[in-house]
Amino acid sequence: MRIFTLDEKYSVVCDTKSTRNGFKHIASLFRNGISIDDTKICYLNRTYEYFTYESVLVKIVTKKFTGTDKEKYLNVIKTFQ
């Protein structure tokens, strides 16, 4: 499990789980410590990401935010490694 802080209000908790055919990354978006949304991406063998959980982080930010907030948080994600 890994916690990514987007700002003082939002954070994302990511985890990896095994599946029958491979594995999945799960992301839970929290606002002030309260879970407000979840998403997942399933993989068969491996990922081609710059860092672990990159794709699921982008997916949850794109799903939940729009406009300048979306761009701001996508830029924050680029700073993670």
Q: How far apart are CA 28 and CA 30, in angstroms?
A: 6
Question: pLDDT (tens digit, 9 = 90+) per residue, 57-76?
Answer: 999 999 999 999 999 999 99
Q: 16 vs 32, 52, 70, 72, CA distance in Å? A: 23, 10, 24, 26
Question: pLDDT (tens digit, 9 = 90+) per residue, 14-62?
Answer: 999 999 989 999 999 999 999 999 999 999 877 778 889 999 999 999 9
The predicted pLDDT at position 50 comes to: 86
The predicted pLDDT at position 21 comes to: 87
The predicted pLDDT at position 81 comes to: 77
The predicted pLDDT at position 2 comes to: 95
Q: Edge-to-edge, what's the strand order for the sheet holding 23-31?
A: 2-5, 10-18, 23-31, 34-43
Residue ranges of domains in the chain: 2-78
